[in-house]
Amino acid sequence: MSIMEWENDSEIQIFREYLRIPTVHPNIDYTACVEFLKRQAASIGLPVDVVYPVNDANPVVVMKWLGKQPELPSIVLNSHTDVVPVFPDMWTHEPFSADMDDEGRIYARGAQDMKCVGTQYLAAVRALKASGYQPKRTVYLTFVPDEEVGGVLGMLELVKQDYFKSLNVGFSFDEAITSEDEAYSIYYGERTLWHLKFKISGTAGHGSLLLPNTAGVKLQYILNKMMEFGASQIKILEQNSNMDVGDVTTVNLTKLSGGVQSNVVPPLLELVFDIRIAITVDLAAFEQQIRDWCEEAGGGIELEFERKNPFIAPTKIDASNPFWVAYKKTLDDLGLKTRIQVCPGATDSRFIRQLGVPALGFSPINRTPILIHDHDEFLRADTYLEGIQIFKKLISAVANV
């Protein structure tokens, strides 16, 4: 297709309109976004609810496509409406202009993460409904806020409420990552996130003295142990080409603080680590190992979990899960190469899976540079349109399980 054909394509126009709504952190005003989604629901002929799990500033938009057998557990097509901040000076196109170049590259924050998926769901449902198709199961399209900052004001609270329980969800779609090669990523689980602070106490005094058991010495021991563990995970990846970062535990130092003056040995130093724990790790044993290191360092170290997510079982990807069987068969029948992965970060699927509901993450973006959260984020128009065709097949297959 040419740029003129892309620009005149109604689905591309809808996508670009969505991208131009600056639902960007911090202090997002979702008003224009909600009105856009209401218009989309009306154009397709879907009833729509706007619910507020936490407060009026963070709405969740839910569209309902009634199934032939609404008593069956439903299907959720989930996407988030918020996007991360931008540094406009680092972009070659205005971040919320949705400019399209002659090659069909559409530049905007959210082009890959994940406004594309939200409007691709809409396009797929629009086409299926227009063809006269009605799914066996009821399908809900959920557009949630706050995912990019933890989902605390969005999906985390939504799943706790009677409204969500009334949806009777049996399976959920959500996002994955952009692929630079031809294989599409499918996420079936997520690592466990800990943000762990070490509050390291030690002997204080004058900087000229040889003091025993200082916080600095203990800090060095802990830092070495944590970094050695991180290095061991890198080695595991190097030795097994079939694994990726989602299959190991990552440990990264993110904060180091303490001290009051250059000639005063401080009584307290603090380290904070971002830890993403592989689904194969025993969390209790891992925590005990860290506590043992604290004792080996000399004691006097308090652990404070700024965030300590629980283990959430991954979605089963075998014959015991009929949704997975239909999902994978559809992609295989389309001749698409796939890469089954554990998500290295976090998505709203974790809150769905915590309820015991299976969820898979998939963004139909391949052969594209990974620009999620980066400058000059873009998605090609032809990739976007191809993704709609994939979702038409996926949604109809899964909704008929």
- Total number of domains in the chain: 2
Helical axes 10-19 vs 381-399, angle rounded to 10°:
100
17 and 79 co-located in one domain: yes
Between CA 387 and CA 124 the distance in angstroms is 9
Contacts of 148 (CB under 8 A, 6+ apart): 25, 80, 82, 83, 84
Contacts of 198 (CB under 8 A, 6+ apart): 219, 222, 270, 271, 272, 273, 294, 301, 302, 303
* CATH number for the domain harbouring residue 221: 3.30.70.360
**Catalytic residue among 11, 82, 157, 348, which?**
82
Domain end marker among 308, 325, 341: 308
Nearest residue to 357 (alpha-carbon basis) of 165, 213, 116, 210: 165
What pLDDT sits at residue 1? 80
92 and 153 co-located in one domain: yes
Residue 78 pairs with which residues in a beta bridge? Answer: 142
106 and 207 co-located in one domain: no
Q: Which residues of 196-230 are buried (b: 16+ CB within 10 A; e: fewer)?
A: bbbbbbbbeeeeeeebeebbbebbebbbebbeebb
pLDDT in tens, 283-296: 999 999 999 999 99
147 as an active site residue: the answer is yes
150 and 21 co-located in one domain: yes
116 part of a folded domain? yes
Q: What are phi and psi of 122, to 5 degrees?
A: -60, -45
Where do the DSSP E strands lie in 227-300? Answer: 250-258, 264-265, 268-277
64 part of a folded domain? yes
Q: Is 98 helix (H, G, I), strand (E, B) or coil?
A: coil
Range of the domain at 392: 3-175+363-399
25 part of a folded domain? yes
Contacts of 161 (CB under 8 A, 6+ apart): 51, 53
CA-only gyration radius of the chain, Å: 24
DSSP 3-state helix, strand, coil percentages of the chain (rounded to 5)? 35, 25, 40
The model's confidence at residue 68, banded by pLDDT at 50, 70 and 90, is very high
Q: What are phi and psi of 99, to 5 degrees?
A: -60, 145
What pLDDT sits at residue 268? 98
**Catalytic residue among 147, 175, 348, 377, which?**
147
pLDDT in tens, 195-247: 999 999 999 999 999 999 999 999 999 999 999 999 999 999 999 999 999 99
Q: What is the mean pLDDT of residues 256-268?
A: 97
Nearest 5°: CA angle at 313, between 393 and 58?
70
pTM given for the model: 0.93
Residue 173 pairs with which residues in a beta bridge? Answer: 77, 360
Nearest residue to 348 (alpha-carbon basis) of 361, 362, 363, 338: 361
What is the percentage of the chain residues whose pLDDT exceeds 90?
99
41 and 165 co-located in one domain: yes
pLDDT in tens, 114-129: 999 999 999 999 999 9
